[in-house]
Amino acid sequence: MSTTKRAAIAGAVLSLAAGVLPTVALAHPAAPLVRVLTISYRAHDGLSRRAYLILPAWYGPEKHPPIPLVISPHGRGVGARANIRRWGDLPARGGFAVINPEGQGRRLTLFSWGDPGEIRDLARMGAIAEHAIPWLQIDRHRVFAFGGSMGGQETLLLLARFPRLLAGAAAFDAPTNMAARYRAFDLLRFGEGLQRLARREIGGTPATNPGGYEARSPLDCARKIAFAGVPLQIWWSTRDRTVSDQYHESGLLYRHIKRLNSSAPVSEFVGGWAHTTEMTAHGYLPYALSRFGLMPRRAAPPSRIQPDAAGEVLV
């Protein structure tokens, strides 16, 4: 190939690049729909902890109408930051806030397992957020609790102990019998370590400290939940490998509530998902939120989810 032809080809390539590259360079990523603010608070035992508040990106010092709040305790051992990822851009799409506290148990942080002090801290989350962010205005008539696994356990205990706080609650794959969980840890990988953590956090075994385990068991609060008058969603899976006997955990709690008060505003959702995978922005979380008016009603689950005559919803 002659030098002249090579120069012509090179010039054409450079001309093409000049036409394309500026377009790429000027492209901007889409603005985030939500933002996360970090809040410091004092837990019930005086220790400093963080909470992460998810807000729609448009909400701020210049525009801050009263906004619904979802309190979302995290699952066992995963932390508040991991819990943020469950929500995606749903707070922007629904126009609500979510607070994800680190939490603190009697002795442990990531393994609070419904400690009464932790439940009191959850009840303070709205006041804590407003104190930390002066322009934040929470709609006190629209405060909800959503949690998965241990977070679901703590959601149920929050409802039982502070029913006037909540306009609704949803528990996903929650353990409801802490003594049964202690025994079932034997079936899990690292189960011995989990039992050791439970003894440290609760203060003994179910045999040596039965009251400590009862205080952390939503099943023992079934009567309070049944007559709280708070709309409740209970989601559980027949294929859960973490809380493996959900029929006798979340399922049993639902049956107890209905037996105690047949008109209790509780709905049951039963499916075959892996542990807490339904509580995600791409799972059934939008539908669960829509039942409380936090998402548009068009955010519906697949048509195969239909309530039966007893009010149960089967997936």
Q: Does pLDDT of 6 surpass 90?
A: no
pLDDT attached to residue 72: 98
Compute how many other C-beta atoms are within 10 angstroms of the C-beta atom of residue 123: 18
pLDDT at 308 over 60: no
Which residues 6+ apart lie within 8 Å of 18 measured at CB?
none
In a domain, residue 240? The reply is yes
**Is residue 26 situated within a structural domain?**
no
Rounded Cα–Cα distance for residues 252 and 243 (Å): 13
Residue 31 — very low, low, confident or very high, per pLDDT cuts 50/70/90?
Answer: confident
C-alpha separations of 299 from 106, 284, 306 in Å: 39, 9, 15
- With 60 as the cut, is the pLDDT of residue 180 above it? yes
Task: Write the CATH number for 117.
Answer: 3.40.50.1820
> Is 97:67 a contact under the CB 8 Å cutoff?
yes
Per-residue model confidence as pLDDT tens digits over 40-84: 999 999 999 999 999 999 999 999 999 999 999 999 999 999 999
Domain that holds residue 270: 35-314
> Which residues is 171 bridged to in the sheet?
147, 234
Please compute the mean of the pLDDT values over residues 215-230 and round it to a whole number: 98
- Assess whether pLDDT exceeds 70 at residue 4: no
List the single range of 172-176, 257-261, 301-305 with lowest mean pLDDT.
301-305
For 293, residues 6+ apart whose C-beta sits below 8 A from its C-beta are none
Q: What is the pLDDT of residues 239-294, one digit of tens each?
A: 999 999 999 999 999 999 999 999 999 999 999 999 999 999 999 999 999 999 99
Does the pLDDT of residue 189 top 50, yes or no?
yes
- In a domain, residue 309? The reply is yes
Secondary structure (DSSP) of 64-83: ---EEEEE----TTTHHHHH
How do residues 126-137 score in pLDDT, each as one tens digit?
A: 999 999 999 999
Q: Does 13 fall in a domain? A: no
Tally of domains in the chain: 1
Question: Which residue, 78, 85, 154, is CA-closest to 122?
Answer: 154
Residue 166, classed as helix, strand or coil, is: coil
Local confidence band at 297 (pLDDT 50, 70, 90 cut-offs)? confident
Mean pLDDT of the chain: 89
- Asked if the model's pLDDT at residue 104 lies above 80, the reply is yes
Distances (CA, A) of 16 to 7, 9, 19, 26: 14, 11, 5, 16
Residue 30 has pLDDT above 80, yes or no: no
Report yes or no on 245 lying in a domain: yes
Q: Give a yes or no: residue 143 inside a domain.
A: yes
Name, in order, each residue with C-beta under 8 angstroms of 206's C-beta and a sequence gap of 6 or more: 178, 179, 182, 183, 213
Portion of the chain with pLDDT greater than 90, in percent:
82
Percent of the chain with pLDDT over 70: 85
Q: How confident is the model at residue 187 (pLDDT cuts 50, 70, 90)?
A: confident
Give the C-alpha separation, 188 to 249, whole Å: 16
- Which strand ranges, in their side-by-side order, compose the sheet holding 97-101? 34-42, 48-56, 97-101, 67-71, 138-148, 168-172, 232-237, 266-271, 312-314, 306-307
pLDDT band at residue 100 under the 50/70/90 scheme: very high
Give pLDDT, residue 298. Answer: 62
> What is the arithmetic mean of pLDDT over 202-220?
98
Indicate the residue type of 314.
L
Mean pLDDT within 167-191: 95
Residues near 229 by beta carbon (within 8 Å), at least 6 away in sequence: 163, 265
Task: For residue 11, tell me if it sits in a domain.
Answer: no
Closest CA to 159 of 173, 171, 175: 171
